[in-house]
């Protein structure tokens, strides 16, 4: 089963105050199979974040198809979904997709435990006690059992990002999207977050990861996708992409980051 598939996704931002339209996604087609880890790499401005955001509707696409778990959810033309699915049907599928951002976005006035319980209780209507037990298990999994009652400001960036990962997992997603999850971290804190992501990958989570961590991509990814100027220029297994990229742009990019 493919967990995520997009066909010919297009997106243009219409500039304000006389700035021309900006075509940010140009026919982006990609498939992520169950339990696959796919890493998207590419220069800043390539459209990587817009692509991820379009998968869970933080961004509306102009045209193209989006499937989640083989189910066609969006078939858009001129910014309008031509499918007549109910809100519940769409939202149910979107709940299968968890996301972790570069900025951790934790609720500052809630404890770590409360951050993990909020969505399960309010969105999924899970009983408080059950949500609490689940949250504790997840904190154990990301190595933060001792921070249950701490507030985000009392944690390091790496710890906050691990809480953010646990918080996404609390909704029991079947696919996890990561948008440069370690880019905002001090270098010495990157490893602890990548380790949590690695263990998640080894546990069989389907993951789509935008990252500049080439070591992670090389070690963990099943497939590396190179995005440039709104399009996927090339994709393949990491050993191929890193040692023998077929495209000059890919080669230039890898030379600049490796």
What binding mask, one character per residue, do residues 95-124 give for ligand ADP by CB under 6 A, x or -? ------------------------------
Q: Which span (26-34, 43-51, 103-111, 168-176) binds ligand ADP, by CB under 6 A?
A: 43-51
Using CB atoms within 10 A of its CB, is residue 198 exposed (0-12), middle (13-18) or buried (19+)?
middle
Q: What SS3 state is found at 128? A: helix
Relative orientation angle of helices 112-122 and 128-141, to the nearest 10 degrees: 130
The per-residue b/e assignment along 85-114, b for 16 or more CB within 10 angstroms, e otherwise, is beeeebeebebbbbbbbbebebeeeebbbb
In terms of Cα–Cα distance, which of 111, 184, 110, 98 is closest to 144? 111
The one among 46, 66, 142, 200 contacting ligand ADP by CB under 6 A: 46
Q: Which span (45-53, 63-71, 107-115, 165-173) binds ligand ADP, by CB under 6 A?
A: 45-53
The partner in contact with residue 206, picked from ligand ADP, Mg ion, none with C-beta cut-offs of 5 to 8 angstroms by kind, is none
The partner in contact with residue 250, picked from ligand ADP, Mg ion, none with C-beta cut-offs of 5 to 8 angstroms by kind, is none
Least Å distance, CB 233 to ligand ADP, is: 13
Cβ atoms 68, 93 nearer than 8 A: yes
- Site residues for Mg ion, 13-72, by CB under 5 A, read 49
Determine if 250 is a binding residue for Mg ion (CB under 5 A): no
Least Å distance, CB 73 to ligand ADP, is: 21
In terms of Cα–Cα distance, which of 198, 231, 187 is closest to 27? 231
Beta bridge partners of 255: none
In terms of Cα–Cα distance, which of 12, 121, 113 is closest to 59? 12
User: Toward Mg ion, which CB reaches closer, 28 or 113?
Assistant: 28
User: Toward ligand ADP, which CB reaches closer, 226 or 242?
Assistant: 226
- Site residues for ligand ADP, 170-189, by CB under 6 A, read none
User: Toward ligand ADP, which CB reaches closer, 111 or 211?
Assistant: 211
The one among 9, 10, 38, 48 contacting ligand ADP by CB under 6 A: 48
Write down the H helix ranges in 83-211: 87-94, 112-122, 128-141, 157-169, 187-202
Determine if 235 is a binding residue for Mg ion (CB under 5 A): no
Determine if 243 is a binding residue for ligand ADP (CB under 6 A): no
Backbone φ/ψ region at 96: left (φ over 0), alpha (ψ -120 to 50), beta? alpha
What binding mask, one character per residue, do residues 1-40 give for ligand ADP by CB under 6 A, x or -? ------------x--------x-x----------------
The one among 9, 36, 50, 225 contacting ligand ADP by CB under 6 A: 50
In terms of Cα–Cα distance, which of 157, 153, 151, 198 is closest to 178? 198
Residues that bind ligand ADP in the complex, under the rule CB under 6 A: 13, 22, 24, 44-50
């Amino acid at each position: 089963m493919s967990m995520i598939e997009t066909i010919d996704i297009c997106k243009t931002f219409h500039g304000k105050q006389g700035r021309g339209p900006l075509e940010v996604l140009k026919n982006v087609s990609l498939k992520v199979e169950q339990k696959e880890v796919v890493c998207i790499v590419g220069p800043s401005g390539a459209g990587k974040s817009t692509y991820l955001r379009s998968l869970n509707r933080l961004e509306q696409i102009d045209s193209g198809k989006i499937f989640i778990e083989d189910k066609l959810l969006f078939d858009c033309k001129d910014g309008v979904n031509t499918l007549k699915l109910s809100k519940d049907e769409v939202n149910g599928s979107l709940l299968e997709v968890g996301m972790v951002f570069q900025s951790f976005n934790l609720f500052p006035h809630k404890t770590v435990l409360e951050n993990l319980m909020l969505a399960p209780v309010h969105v999924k209507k899970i009983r408080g006690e059950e949500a609490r037990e689940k949250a504790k298990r997840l904190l154990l999994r990301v190595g933060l059992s001792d921070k249950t009652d701490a507030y985000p400001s009392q944690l390091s960036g790496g710890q906050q990002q691990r809480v953010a990962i646990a918080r996404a997992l609390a909704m029991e997603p079947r696919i996890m999207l990561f948008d440069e999850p370690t880019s905002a971290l001090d270098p010495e804190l990157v490893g602890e977050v990548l380790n949590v992501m690695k263990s998640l990958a080894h546990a069989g989570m389907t993951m789509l990861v935008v990252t500049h961590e080439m070591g992670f991509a090389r070690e963990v990814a099943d497939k590396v996708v190179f995005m440039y100027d709104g399009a996927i220029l090339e994709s393949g297994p990491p050993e191929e992409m890193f040692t023998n990229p077929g495209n000059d742009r890919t080669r230039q990019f890898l030379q600049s980051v490796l």
